[in-house]
Amino acid sequence: MELHLITDGCQSAERTADILRLIEPDIDMLHIREKHLSAAELYEFMFTVSERGCCSPSKLAVNDRVDAALLFGAGTVQLTSNSLPLQLVKRTFPKLRCGASVHSLQEARAAEQAGANYVLYGHIYDSVSKPGLPPRGLSSLEELCRAVSIPVIALGGIQPRHVRGIRRAGASGIAVMSGIWKADDPAEAAKEYRRMLIT
Amino acid sequence: MELHLITDGCQSAERTADILRLIEPDIDMLHIREKHLSAAELYEFMFTVSERGCCSPSKLAVNDRVDAALLFGAGTVQLTSNSLPLQLVKRTFPKLRCGASVHSLQEARAAEQAGANYVLYGHIYDSVSKPGLPPRGLSSLEELCRAVSIPVIALGGIQPRHVRGIRRAGASGIAVMSGIWKADDPAEAAKEYRRMLIT
């Protein structure tokens, strides 16, 4: 199973890179999700994170900005309902991997039909990023995993102890934010997630 | 001389299109500058403006979003200091025309060196978009036009009566916002600009 780490918009590029350098072997993809940055700042952020964090651009997934992903040589772009139409992105840039952020089975099916390489689905558990919104839970994850044939990455409030249930539900990986960035020891947290993912 | 019209972020796509349909033959380029829109909304905006406004995508310049320009088949992207690096955009997408928004002679020279197809320079006169900022004036425009060999499009508070002076300063065109959008009769205003540009 894959471990995706999503930047939370609260760390500087330098701190992001410094943590990343410690955990890079343990994570499969780093999502750059810094909505408050201009395109120029985003490019700088990616450059610092990749260089100082010793992380290959191919391991980066850029949120929303297809152009930043292409210019930087990032492997993946992560598209949401606020992004350019996934089908057109795939048609225009067939080599670029496209992840789709989805919140329902219908959206997941539509994303698969449009050519998404995987979906990010959540939130599964209570999440500090989604206060007050009821989590979607394991059974909806299981239903969604059965409904599509592309990989499903589960997101939202996931702790290492949840990994076994998520695997049983059929997900191909998990995506984490605060579980690593807000951990007392991010490197240890990443290793703990990794241990649960491979056992 | 060219007439560029820049959307001001205050009109709906429908109203923009309805005005555009009346003045399309009189303008050389329509800049889509709708910073408050998501990428999905921007794409919709461009689609409506182009279809309903009977305007070829090749006549559109998309502000900042290189990806939206490429997906839509727009002829041009307009880059600012907040955008992705112009040199890299040109290197990655050599067929895409790139305009650079500049505010000094140094920036104009840098943009030319980076491969810009033209620069947009302003603001030349007092502009409702730049309240309180002193205008740069005709003499600075003239100096800048001498310093670069790519076309210079002058911007900011330009009225039809200013066009002669701007041409004499060496500019290749003008860009207008409120002079057309806020005119009592936008179609008549566009024709008046056009008359001044060709005489």
pLDDT for residue A127: 80
Residue ranges per structural domain of chain A:
2-198
pLDDT for residue B177: 96
Q: Does residue B102 sit in helix, strand or coil? A: strand
Mutate to test the interface with B, among A46, A84, A91 (most CBs of B within 10 A): A84
Q: Is the CB of A39 less than 8 angstroms away from the CB of B68?
A: no
Partners of residue A68 in chain B, C-beta under 8 Å: 84
pLDDT for residue B46: 98
Q: Which structure tokens are listed for A156? A: 């939202």
* Rounded distance between C-alpha atoms, residue A2 and residue A7, angstroms: 16
pLDDT for residue A131: 78
A88 to chain B: nearest residue by CA?
A: B71
pLDDT in tens, A88-141: 999 999 999 999 999 999 999 999 999 999 999 999 998 877 778 888 889 999
Partners of residue B84 in chain A, C-beta under 8 Å: 39-40, 43, 67-68, 71
Partners of residue A45 in chain B, C-beta under 8 Å: none
pLDDT for residue B59: 97
Arithmetic mean of pLDDT, A132-151: 93
Q: Which structure tokens are listed for A103? A: 């919140």
Instruction: Give the rounded percent of residues in chain A with a pLDDT score beyond 70.
Output: 100
Q: Does residue B56 belong to the interface with chain A, where contact is any CB pair within 8 Å?
A: no
Does the structure show a pLDDT above 80 at B164?
A: yes
- The ipTM of this complex is 0.94
Q: Does residue A68 belong to the interface with chain B, where contact is any CB pair within 8 Å?
A: yes
CB atoms within 10 A of CB A18: 15
pLDDT for residue A129: 75
Q: Is the CB of A71 less than 8 angstroms away from the CB of B81?
A: no
Q: Does residue B12 sit in helix, strand or coil? A: coil
pLDDT for residue B193: 98
A44 to chain B: nearest residue by CA?
A: B84
B84 to chain A: nearest residue by CA?
A: A40
Q: Does residue B81 belong to the interface with chain A, where contact is any CB pair within 8 Å?
A: yes
pLDDT for residue A163: 97
Cα–Cα distances (Å) from B48 to B16, B17, B43, B56, B92, in that order, read 9, 7, 9, 12, 28
Does the structure show a pLDDT above 90 at B126?
A: no
Least confident piece of the model among A34-43, A164-173, B133-142: B133-142
A73 to chain B: nearest residue by CA?
A: B92
* Rounded distance between C-alpha atoms, residue A58 and residue A75, angstroms: 4
Mutate to test the interface with B, among A67, A86, A98 (most CBs of B within 10 A): A67
Arithmetic mean of pLDDT, A32-51: 98
Nearest CB neighbour to B40, from listed A65, A68, A82: A82
Arithmetic mean of pLDDT, B174-193: 96
Instruction: Give the rounded percent of residues in chain A with a pLDDT score beyond 90.
Output: 93
Does the structure show a pLDDT above 90 at B4?
A: yes
Q: Which structure tokens are listed for B118? A: 């033209």
pLDDT in tens, A1-21: 999 999 999 999 999 999 999
Query: How many pairs of residues across A and B have Cβ atoms under 8 Å apart?
Result: 55
Q: Does residue B94 belong to the interface with chain A, where contact is any CB pair within 8 Å?
A: no
Does the structure show a pLDDT above 90 at B134?
A: no
Q: Does residue A44 belong to the interface with chain B, where contact is any CB pair within 8 Å?
A: no
What is the average pLDDT value for chain B, to the nearest integer?
96
Arithmetic mean of pLDDT, B152-168: 97
Predicted confidence band of residue B168 (pLDDT cuts 50, 70, 90)? very high
Partners of residue B64 in chain A, C-beta under 8 Å: 39
pLDDT for residue A126: 86
Q: Does residue B40 belong to the interface with chain A, where contact is any CB pair within 8 Å?
A: yes
pTM: 0.95
pLDDT for residue B136: 87
pLDDT for residue B129: 75
Arithmetic mean of pLDDT, B23-51: 97
Q: CATH assignment of B2-198?
A: 3.20.20.70
Positions of A marked active-site: 123
A39 to chain B: nearest residue by CA?
A: B83
Q: Does residue B54 belong to the interface with chain A, where contact is any CB pair within 8 Å?
A: no
Spacing of C-alpha B98 from chain mean position: 11
Q: Is the distance from CB of A82 to CB of A120 less than 8 angstroms?
A: no
Arithmetic mean of pLDDT, B142-147: 98
Nearest CB neighbour to A84, from listed B39, B83, B88: B39
Instruction: Give the rounded percent of residues in chain B with a pLDDT score beyond 90.
Output: 93
Does the structure show a pLDDT above 90 at B133?
A: no
Partners of residue B65 in chain A, C-beta under 8 Å: 67
| Residues 97-136 of chain B whose Cβ lies under 8 A from any Cβ of chain A | none
What is the average pLDDT value for chain A, to the nearest integer?
96
Min Cα distance A85 → chain B (Å) is 7
Q: Which amino acid does the sequence have at B103?
A: H
Q: Identify which has the larger pLDDT, A57 or B128.
A: A57
pLDDT for residue B99: 98
